[in-house]
Amino acid sequence: MNREVRFFQAINEAIDLCMEKDPSVYIMGLGVPDPSGVFGTTLGLQKKYGSVRVMDMPLSENGMTGVAIGSALVGMRPIMTHQRGDFALLAMEQIVNQAANWYYMFGGQKSIPLVIRMVIGRGWGQGTQHSQSFQAWFAHVPGLKVVMPTTPYDAKGLLIASIEDNNPVIFIEHRWLHNITGHVPEGTYRTPLGQARVAREGTDVTIAATSYMTIEALRAAEMLVKDGISAEVVDIRTLKPLDEKLILDSVRKTGRLIAADIGWKMVGFSAEIVARIAEEALNDLKCPPIRVALPDCPTPTTPALANRYYPLAVHIVATARKMLGLSADLPVSPDRTPVPLDVPDMSFTGPF
Amino acid sequence: MESEALKRLYCVMFQIRMIEEKIAELYSEQEMRCPVHLSIGQEAVAAGVCANLSRDDYVLSTHRSHGHYLAKGGNLKAMMAEFYGKVTGCSKGKGGSMHLVDFSVGFLGATPVVGSTIPIAVGVAMGTVMRGGQQVTVVFFGDAAVEEGVFHESVNFAMLKKLPVVFVCENNFYSVYSHISIRQPKDREIFELSKGHGIESYQGDGNDAIQVYNLAERAICKARQGGGPTFLEFKTYRWREHCGPNYDNQLGYRTENEFQAWRQRCPIERLEKHLLKEGILCNQDIDRMVSRLKAEVEDAVVFAKVSPFPEEHLILEHIFAP
């Protein structure tokens, strides 16, 4: 019996189940109790658990991250929510200097079980300060785990596992995934951290992707069938600790790698995938690995530019075709009428 | 203050002074291979505040934390071994002087980025309330910490939620070589700045251990009874250089005269004079105490020196908790 639930509902369920089970779990963030409930992810929680455990907060991202860390030191399990990952930049000092290091620099005595949710914006004129994604930075820091679910199933399973994890976890949710539906079991279950997933089997090229790019990769794989190309799509899911083995096994099988990430290309997470393949599976490659990621520039707001800024399925298709000796022209125009490119789907009519 | 409490106060200050001077003496052996920020001259604030705390109460601190660690009851041998980078150190040799911790006495951590433990202390207080605990949390920091935005974020939130936290600012007028007049407006005291947040704020003589004790007692009792946070500013002076064992007044960022004026106001000599005059202590008591403390310090140094270093495999351990 397939239970179809939206990604944002799956997030809500995960938080609800964890808070019900464990009184030390609490959630804070700007607008967490407000009527829109952070894109629906926190709706109903304050009514159920009260305002001590479901907290709005002052606009003090760095200070409140410190508060979360301190509460964790005496046994609480905080979930912080940033409606945009860009706001979390104000908290970098506490996240990197304090939360990530506390366990190690004090000789392994007390870890910080903190989950920090960050929503990545896109489209409708978000612009550069409402759409950045910093998984590369966070994955670079020892002591932080980094998780990026693609499906509603994993949104719930990975969030439950992250809340139960005794370490700081950066949990990145793409705004355009919030409304997608997928099979989500009732009740508690976990998607273990550190495990990637083969989202679609194939034999000719591996597309290892994160977050929303997994959706584009799946679209690309479907389109590539017409070209006689069988693409294997790997949904990375946890960036740190990375499931290197699954990705390597896939690349050894297909001999070709496209690393697709929602961040920028330069020193992005896609570079880490390519580096590992180069170090450990160079002789299995039939052609050079390619990264598909954002160009190295800030996000413009006008749809005229933003629509040409984000890599799409057609770009992955063109890359794969070139790898297999076919023409690299875009197979179709990137524009997809009737859905404009600066919204995830027809249901979105702005503004946030 | 009762005689016993006064004697304990004096003993704690003396212990801190003795240990810090021992570190200064041994530092040139180059076996304590980490930066040390000594508390010499500032002992009264640590001792006076912590005398009001129970073992269960929480303290967080900053880079100049040896005094706070010891006054809270932190393990001396573990501290010394940590300076020597040994696996028997309080942080298993992974933190050094700038990252001291002793969970068994509620010293939850000291980290060196100025201001960083202030919001963490507020969080400890919030977590305590959430769990129905009675512990009070004290956070120590210096004059420059109130220039960090995170200080204001922390006080704002602590006041909003009326949390059981006491903010203790040791104003020693210098942030490394920068005098406070270069960093903060003249004619505006730190405790007045703090008052702007609506938090009850007091200023005291940080070299008068009894005054420190009394102000801290009021603040800590108030917090424990649910009265919310207090801010205490204590003016004091560090005798030696910002980081390291030596005197550095010859560099000229501060004058020898200024140092001498504060030297005359040594918090330990002041309390000792008072206790001798009042007959609470006699010279024999002091001699006995000195012998005992001296033996403890020597023991701690021996322990640190003979302890083993951590093994190589520990480099990659304690990154993630299971």
Catalytic residue among A4, A13, A20, A61: A61
Peptide bond preceding A152: is omega within 30 degrees of 0, i.e. cis? no
Angle at A55 between CA A54 and CA A58, to 5 degrees: 165
Hey, are the CB atoms on B131 and A75 less than 8 Å from each other?
A: yes
Confidence at residue B274, expressed as pLDDT on a 0 to 100 scale: 97
Domain end marker among A159, A183, A207: A183
Residue of chain A nearest B117, judged by CA positions: A66
DSSP A28-79: EETTTTSTTTTTTTTTTHHHHHHHHHEE---S-HHHHHHHHHHHHHTT-EEE
Residue B161 touches chain A, beta carbons under 8 Å: no
Residue type, A9: Q
Clarify whether residues A165 and A81 are in a common domain.
yes
Length of chain A: 352
Clarify whether residues A144 and A232 are in a common domain.
no
For residue A349, tell me if it sits in a domain.
no
Chain A residues inside the 8 Å CB shell of B320 = 103, 111, 143, 145, 166-167, 241
Task: Bin B229: left if φ > 0, else alpha if -120 < ψ < 50, else beta.
Answer: beta
Clarify whether residues A132 and A221 are in a common domain.
no
pLDDT at residue A341 is higher than 90 = no
- ipTM score assigned to the predicted complex: 0.97
Residue labelled with tokens 């860009």? A86
Per residue in B236-267, pLDDT (tens digit) is: 999 999 999 999 999 999 999 999 999 999 99
From A116's Cα to the closest Cα of chain B, the distance in A is: 16
Which pLDDT band holds residue B312 (cuts at 50, 70, 90)?
A: very high
Task: Bin B255: left if φ > 0, else alpha if -120 < ψ < 50, else beta.
Answer: beta
Hey, are the CB atoms on A63 and B154 less than 8 Å from each other?
A: yes
Which residue among A71, A109, A241 sits closest to B127, beta carbon to beta carbon? A71
Q: Residue A232: beta bridge partners? A: A206
From A74's Cα to the closest Cα of chain B, the distance in A is: 6
Clarify whether residues A173 and A208 are in a common domain.
no
For residue A274, tell me if it sits in a domain.
yes
Confidence at residue B1, expressed as pLDDT on a 0 to 100 scale: 85
User: Is position A183 annotated as part of the catalytic site?
Assistant: no
Which residue among A65, A70, A145 sits closest to B127, beta carbon to beta carbon? A70
pLDDT at residue B204 is higher than 80 = yes
Chain B residues inside the 8 Å CB shell of A70 = 60, 119-127, 137
Hey, are the CB atoms on A70 and B95 less than 8 Å from each other?
A: no
Catalytic residue among A130, A174, A178, A315: A130
Confidence at residue A345, expressed as pLDDT on a 0 to 100 scale: 76
Q: Which of B195, B46, B129, B315 is nearest to B203 (CA)?
A: B195
Q: Which of A201, A266, A194, A209 is nearest to A230 (CA)?
A: A201
pLDDT at residue B121 is higher than 80 = yes
Confidence at residue A336, expressed as pLDDT on a 0 to 100 scale: 66
Hey, are the CB atoms on B120 and A97 less than 8 Å from each other?
A: no
Q: What is the mean pLDDT of residues A306-319?
A: 94
Chain B residues inside the 8 Å CB shell of A146 = none
Clarify whether residues A30 and A118 are in a common domain.
yes
Minimum mean pLDDT among A79-93, A303-317, B142-156: which range?
A303-317
Clarify whether residues A164 and A221 are in a common domain.
no
Residue A92 touches chain B, beta carbons under 8 Å: no
Q: What are A73's two structure tokens?
A: 């030191």
**E runs forming strands in B134-176:** 137-142, 165-171, 174-175
Confidence at residue A89, expressed as pLDDT on a 0 to 100 scale: 98
Hey, are the CB atoms on B320 and A94 less than 8 Å from each other?
A: no
What does the alpha-carbon distance between residue A336 and residue A323 come to, in Å, rounded to a whole number?
25
Confidence at residue A329, expressed as pLDDT on a 0 to 100 scale: 83
The sign of the torsion formed by the CA atoms of B15, B62, B137, A75 equals: negative
Residue of chain B nearest A52, judged by CA positions: B130
Clarify whether residues A92 and A124 are in a common domain.
yes
For residue A176, tell me if it sits in a domain.
yes
**How many other C-beta atoms can be found within 10 angstroms of the C-beta atom of residue A308?**
13
Clarify whether residues A11 and A150 are in a common domain.
yes
What does the alpha-carbon distance between residue A113 and residue A162 come to, in Å, rounded to a whole number?
9
Per residue in A229-285, pLDDT (tens digit) is: 999 999 999 999 999 999 999 999 999 999 999 999 999 999 999 999 999 999 999
Which residue among B99, B117, B157 sits closest to A60, beta carbon to beta carbon? B157
- Domain of A208, in residue numbers: 197-323
Clarify whether residues A176 and A204 are in a common domain.
no
Question: Cα dihedral angle (A223, A228, A229, A231), rounded to 10 degrees?
Answer: 60
Q: What is the mean pLDDT of residues A219-231?
A: 96
Q: What is the mean pLDDT of residues A76-90?
A: 97
Q: Which of A30, A19, A36 is nearest to A178 (CA)?
A: A36
Q: What is the mean pLDDT of residues A52-70?
A: 98
Confidence at residue A1, expressed as pLDDT on a 0 to 100 scale: 64
Which pLDDT band holds residue B2 (cuts at 50, 70, 90)?
A: very high
Q: Can you tell me whether residue B322 is helix, strand or coil?
A: coil
Question: Burial letters for A323-350: b for 16+ Cβ neighbours within 10 Å, e otherwise?
Answer: beebeeeebeeeeeeeeebbbbeeebee
Q: Which of A200, A217, A317 is nearest to A262 (CA)?
A: A217
**CATH number of the structural domain spanning residue A65:** 3.40.50.970
Confidence at residue A57, expressed as pLDDT on a 0 to 100 scale: 97
Residue B104 touches chain A, beta carbons under 8 Å: no
Confidence at residue A344, expressed as pLDDT on a 0 to 100 scale: 81
Q: Which of A121, A15, A3 is nearest to A78 (CA)?
A: A15
The CATH class, in words, for B3-303 is: alpha beta
Clarify whether residues A269 and A316 are in a common domain.
yes
**CATH number of the structural domain spanning residue A268:** 3.40.50.920
**Cα-flanking dihedrals φ and ψ of residue A335, to 5°?**
-65, 135
What total of structural domains would you count in chain A?
2
What does the alpha-carbon distance between residue B109 and residue A103 come to, in Å, rounded to a whole number?
11
pLDDT at residue A346 is higher than 80 = no
Q: What is the mean pLDDT of residues A138-151?
A: 98
Residue type, B263: R
What does the alpha-carbon distance between residue A230 and residue B93 come to, in Å, rounded to a whole number?
53
Q: Which of B138, B152, B232, B139 is nearest to B189 (CA)?
A: B232
Confidence at residue A332, expressed as pLDDT on a 0 to 100 scale: 76
Which pLDDT band holds residue B116 (cuts at 50, 70, 90)?
A: very high
Mean pLDDT of chain B: 98
For residue A189, tell me if it sits in a domain.
no
Chain B residues inside the 8 Å CB shell of A25 = none
Mean pLDDT of chain A: 95
Clarify whether residues A212 and A137 are in a common domain.
no
Domain end marker among A123, A157, A183: A183
User: Is position A232 annotated as part of the catalytic site?
Assistant: no
Structural domain spans, chain B: 3-303
Residue A64 touches chain B, beta carbons under 8 Å: yes
Clarify whether residues A131 and A39 are in a common domain.
yes
DSSP A114-129: -EEEEEEP-STT--TT
